[in-house]
Amino acid sequence: MQPNYHKVKAEVAKILADHGVDTPPVPIREIVEDEGVDVKFVTFSTLKDEVAGFTKFDEATIYVNAADALNRQTWTIAHEFGHWKLHRHLFESDPQRYSILLRRPKGLNSDPLEKEANAFARQLLVPEALLRRVKGRVSSSELARMFLVSREAMEQSLQYV
């Protein structure tokens, strides 16, 4: 199975249009909750350094590591929402297929579903149309602050515009 980036792009475009997103930062938590998914910030006592978050599909709830920085929490919410929108039917029928979002060195995750969820998060949090409006006016660090993402996520986004 290969990642379906066309499906990701279409789903993100629909969400952005449905929610009238026209300025950064994207109100990810509001969007997710408007779509019927709860977001809860929790303390992962023994796993706080390994777990960024996860989704309980049967509860329609995304759990986010409360100890993480805001931009990491934002990414986790968007990534898990990507699983909700793109893969929920797969995980509900085969719960063993879903894995908790662990921190991994860049490039180590080759799972196509994870690649789709990462692309979904990047495109949702840094919409190309919004980025084009401000690209070149400020530094990538300032853009990252503007969109509430890490500098690494912004650098990746800038490659696509």
* Distance of alpha carbon 18 from the chain centroid: 17
Report the candidate in 119, 125, 133 with the shortest Cα–Cα distance to residue 27: 125
What would the pLDDT profile of 24-68 be if each residue is shown by its tens digit? 999 999 999 999 999 999 998 777 678 889 999 989 999 999 999
Q: In whole angstroms, what is the distance from residue 139 CA to residue 142 CA?
A: 5
Contacts of 26 (CB under 8 A, 6+ apart): 16, 124, 125, 126, 127, 147, 148
Q: Give pLDDT tens digits for 134-159.
A: 988 999 999 999 999 999 999 999 99
Domains of the chain in sequence order? 5-126 (1.10.10.2910)
Rounded CA-CA distance 110/74 in Å is 22
Predicted model pTM: 0.90
Residue type, 70: L
